[in-house]
Amino acid sequence: MFDGLKDKLSSFREDAADEVEENAEPVDAETAADTEAAADADATADDGPTGDPVEAEQPAASTADGAPSTEPADGEPADGDDAGPGRLKRAAAFATGKVIIEEEDLEGPLQDLELALLSSDVEMSVADRILDTVREKMIGETRAQVQTTDQLVTEALHDALLDVIGVGQFDFEERIAEADKPVTIVFTGVNGVGKTTTIAKLSEWLDERGYSSVLANGDTYRAGANEQIREHAEALDRKLIAHDQGGDPAAVIYDGVEYAEANDVDVVLGDTAGRLHTSNDLMAQLEKIDRVVDPDMTLFVDEAVAGQDAVKRAQEFDDAAAVDGSVLTKADADSSGGAAISIAYVTGKPILFLGVGQGYDDLRLFDPEELVDELLGEQ
């Protein structure tokens, strides 16, 4: 899962670590002592006798015709000279067994990382956030030579990814456990992304944890929808509430809630017609379901392999229907990982589950920390 993105993140870690190591300043013992003394003297001169920064007044150099000289004063590095306070600071750090990471160390690797993220369908604002966080975590950092730069890069990348992937995350099972029963969950999304199968999978997931559920087919728009969800209900031995094609979706899900209340069923799982946010009549149905049923959660379902399209649709559905979270199907077939990286940050609502196969038990509770560790090869 997300193998392509894993490889690109691994390449960034290697490139960034190599770049920092190449720019480290190896020095011998005699040079180390001189460098430390020079750095200390430079710091003392900067601070002045009172500890406040001062600027020494230097007489302006001039040329023979009286014009100001462009030559550097004695003891000052020329532009582009390798000597100077920055180099002294890095050399002094290395002499004491440390390496300072500077912006130029990461410039090339970060450009490559940006291209890698965008080519993996990570949304642009999300890629920018990841890059900014890596910069904040690494530039100016000093590491002991007994550490590896790869460790620092990995830690920075871990924090950057978790920052965007974990937005809005909540404990789904805890919410089910603490909510008044029955809990009503409505599923929405476009046609053909595995919405109905996801409902069946979640019913099984709940059953394994001791929660009963009833299925309610609010997809009264599509021919064959009743047959599709009925097959799942029969395979799982679940009660199905359904009306004839063309019926009122809100009425179907409301009937599901009444059945659950009368029969002590814990969770109502309501299907809806696949729709685009531009389908005004179908969006009106969602609004009516919200008004009549007042579901506890509305979950958006899309395919992980849809990448940027899934991210865009998630944002549009959230704007139209105020979703509480997302489920990504076909995550096991997705090498890019762009949707999984981006959706939570773009919508402000968490990914709650990943579909990782065809079986009813192939629904994986989404854990941002676990996914980041997997992406970075830490598990």
Residue predicted with more confidence, 173 or 20 = 173
User: Taking the model in full, what pTM does it have?
Assistant: 0.76
| Separation between Cα atoms, residue 159 and residue 254, nearest integer Å | 43
Which of the residue ranges 45-54, 163-172, 295-304 would you say has the lowest mean pLDDT?
Answer: 45-54
Q: Is 189 annotated as a binding residue?
A: yes
Residue type, 281: D
pLDDT, tens digit, 9 for 90 and up, residues 311-339: 998 988 888 778 999 999 999 998 888 99
Q: Is 15 annotated as a binding residue?
A: no
Q: Is 67 annotated as a binding residue?
A: no
At 277 the pLDDT is: 53
At 52 the pLDDT is: 53
At 40 the pLDDT is: 53
Residues of each domain in the chain carrying CATH 1.20.120.140: 3-50+81-165
pLDDT, tens digit, 9 for 90 and up, residues 242-294: 988 778 889 999 999 999 999 999 999 999 887 665 566 767 777 888 888 89
Alpha carbon of 46 to those of 35, 40, 61, 80, 276: distances in Å?
16, 10, 22, 21, 63
pLDDT, tens digit, 9 for 90 and up, residues 177-236: 999 999 999 999 988 899 999 999 999 999 999 999 999 998 877 777 888 999 999 999
Q: Is 148 annotated as a binding residue?
A: no
Q: Is 274 annotated as a binding residue?
A: yes
CATH class of 172-365: alpha beta
Residue predicted with more confidence, 285 or 105 = 285
Q: Are the CB atoms for 355 and 198 separated by under 8 Å? A: yes
Q: What is the dihedral of CA 9, 13, 15, 21, to 10 degrees?
A: 180
At 280 the pLDDT is: 67
Q: Is 195 annotated as a binding residue?
A: yes
Q: Is 32 annotated as a binding residue?
A: no
pLDDT, tens digit, 9 for 90 and up, residues 108-156: 888 998 999 999 999 999 999 999 998 888 776 555 544 566 777 888 8
For the CA atoms of the chain, what is the radius of gyration? 30
Q: Is 192 annotated as a binding residue?
A: yes
Q: Is 42 annotated as a binding residue?
A: no
- The percent of residues in the chain predicted with pLDDT above 70, rounded, is 73
Q: Is 271 annotated as a binding residue?
A: yes
Query: Is the predicted pLDDT of residue 357 greater than 70, yes or no?
Result: yes
Q: Is 377 annotated as a binding residue?
A: no
Residues of each domain in the chain carrying CATH 3.40.50.300: 172-365
Q: Is 332 annotated as a binding residue?
A: yes
The CA-CA-CA angle for residues 154, 158, 160, to 5°, reads 120
Maximum CA extent, the chain = 102
Q: Is 63 annotated as a binding residue?
A: no
Q: Is 168 annotated as a binding residue?
A: no
Per-residue confidence at 166, pLDDT binned at 50, 70, 90? very high
Q: Is 35 annotated as a binding residue?
A: no
CATH class of 3-50+81-165: mainly alpha
3-state secondary structure of 144: strand
Q: Is 222 annotated as a binding residue?
A: no
Q: Is 275 annotated as a binding residue?
A: yes
Sign of torsion over alpha carbons 208, 344, 117, 157: negative
